Amino acid sequence: MEAVATKKQRTERRTDALSKERIVETAIEILDTNGEGALTFRALTTRLATGAGAIYWHVANKDELLTAATTAVIVRVMAEVNKGAEPRDAIRAITLGVFDAIDAHPWVGALLSGEPWQSAVLEIFEGIGVQVQALGVPERAQFDCASAIVNYVLGLAGQYAAGARLLPRETDRSAFLATVAAQWVRLAPAEYPFVHKVAAQLPEHDDREQFLAGIDLILAGIETLR
């Protein structure tokens, strides 16, 4: 009887260690550390000390795993939104949560922008849509309003994804933007008057604050529809 009990305990421990949740969490760790190119089933089997067959039992391929990892990150964002918050505050919390998630996990931006109607994007769209309804927006305008916010977020995701591909993670942000600002200043003032005017603000501007300012502008427009 003792041998049977021991075998059962080992089976339970192994099943827990190889749950889909554990595989997804390990995938997220690999993605955060070394990027999408490092996520292979060989890397997973090494990290989890198991065979590929055990992983394939839970996820069919890398695309499915990437989708699951992205969804897991976004579901956490949605879970952290205060359920009792006012609609405007909830929309700001959702969008800022996604912004912070993309900042913490650069690969998320690439995956969100690469497949617009995957489950992670639908989580965002549903969360925003419910709050747009709660704002009292007329039904005929709800789809457009929710889409405007989500598309703004996905635009940021694409921008972050492009930056992650082009620039090493250790790039000094202020120094890089100062170089870009210097290039702007060298442009002909008559052709680029606005660019010349804002060039000095570029190196030290806060991406998060600027992102939220955009959300507030969209919300201000939406509120005129009520």
Q: Can you tell me the mean pLDDT for 25-38?
A: 92
Which residue ranges make up each domain of the chain?
Answer: 1-59, 75-223
139 pLDDT above the threshold of 90: yes
Please indicate whether residue 207 or residue 3 has the higher confidence score (pLDDT): 207
Q: Which CATH architecture has domain 1-59?
A: Orthogonal Bundle (1.10)
pLDDT of residue 73: 97
129 pLDDT above the threshold of 90: yes
Torsion angle, CA of 64/58/56/5, rounded to 10 degrees? 160
Q: Which of 125, 135, 146, 143 is nearest to 78 (CA)?
A: 125
Q: Work out the pLDDT band at 65, boundaries 50, 70, 90.
A: very high
pTM of the model: 0.84
Per-residue pLDDT of 195-221, as tens digits, reads 999 999 999 889 899 999 999 999 999
Lowest mean pLDDT among 32-41, 139-148, 167-176: 167-176
75 pLDDT above the threshold of 80: yes
CB 102 within 8 A of CB 64: no
pLDDT of residue 12: 42
Which residue type occupies 74? I
pLDDT of residue 162: 76
Q: How many residues does the chain have?
A: 226
Class of CATH domain 75-223: mainly alpha
Q: Can you tell me the mean pLDDT for 127-131?
A: 97
9 pLDDT above the threshold of 70: no
